[in-house]
Amino acid sequence: MRKSLVMVLLCLMFVLLISQTGLATPRFAVKIIYTVQQGDALVELANQFGVSVRRIRRVNGLNKSEFIRYGQKLVIPQETSILSSEVSKNENLYYSFYRPQERLAKYKLDCNGKYEVTIVKETTPNIDTSDLRTLEYYIKRGDNLYELANEFNTSVAVVKKINNLDSNIIRLGKKIELPINNLTPKEVIYRTISDREFELLARLIHAESRGEPYIGQVAVGAVLLNRVISPSFPDNIRDVIYQPGQFSPVANGQINLEPNATSYRAARAALRGQDPTRGACYFYNPDTARYLWWFETREIVVEIGNHVFAK
């Protein structure tokens, strides 16, 4: 009797083991080959595929400072689980994970047959770019055509047509042309200003308006940029600043003072389009200005701190 009971228990355990094995979820190591799309970022890809950024970098040999590029092939390591019941229902899964050679054998071509293959080449749309004004731009780390087109308020197709590009791949340091027809004059200055000109702008703001409220410092920078845009003044920042008889800090040497952090911040704000003066090309301090009578002939727009801004 005891022997029979033991045999029954062993049989039950065996049946239970078989049933558990049948429902078990086998795990397979899978490497997904992903082609980087426009606007992709490693963090987003990591979240999408449920893997860490560090692991993607390690598998693909990317260092911490290296960016991914449009069209780049990335290996995305995965751990995936497939129920045996799903495999039995899905022939493609079965052949993919269990018998890959047999899956390939299903797609054999006749060695003596002839097969016509049509290769469709991507063509650039018929876009008229003859009237576009452009500026020269050097590709920086992290740039891609999609973001550059958005920044310059145009399309990827237009950028490709201007530069005779056959693909969306751009290389670090390469010079390309970007259209500026859809940008405001200040947006063009912002995208073309040199480090030296930015430094001069911050120096003038510091020399003319240190001690003024921050918005007043932005206003001084805006006046200078409004002059660059105006046909009545030189067309670049340096020549506007050094135009004879215009800014007293140039004459007294204060233009050479080191700008503070607020001056740099105000310069960036003015370059990004902030203009508390509403287009003014002149400013003066009524208590210290020379030729006050001439300033008073101008249309006053706003007073900020100790300065009056006029057109």
Cα angle value 46/172/193 (rounded, 5°) = 110
Domain 134-182 in CATH 3.40.50.620: no
Distances from the Cα of 17 to the Cαs of 22, 85, 203, in angstroms?
9, 17, 80
Identify which of 185, 134, 178, 130 has the alpha carbon closest to the alpha carbon of residue 156. Answer: 178
Q: Where in the chain is the domain with CATH 1.10.10.2520?
A: 191-310
Residue 281 CA to residue 225 CA, distance in Å, equals: 8
Residue 229 binned pLDDT confidence (cut-offs 50, 70, 90): very high
Residue 44 binned pLDDT confidence (cut-offs 50, 70, 90): confident
Question: Are the C-beta atoms of residues 63 and 161 closer than 8 Å to each other?
Answer: no
Domain 23-101 in CATH 3.10.350.10: yes
The predicted-structure confidence for 98-151, as pLDDT tens digits, reads as follows 444 454 455 455 555 554 545 444 555 577 777 888 888 888 888 888 888 888
Residue 36 CA to residue 146 CA, distance in Å, equals: 13
Q: Where in the chain is the domain with CATH 3.10.350.10?
A: 23-101, 134-182
- When pLDDT is averaged across residues 236-253 and rounded to a whole number, the result is 91
The predicted-structure confidence for 2-31, as pLDDT tens digits, reads as follows 555 555 555 556 555 544 444 444 444 455
Tell me: pLDDT of 186 over 80.
Answer: yes
Q: Which fold has domain 191-310?
A: Arc Repressor Mutant, subunit A (1.10.10)
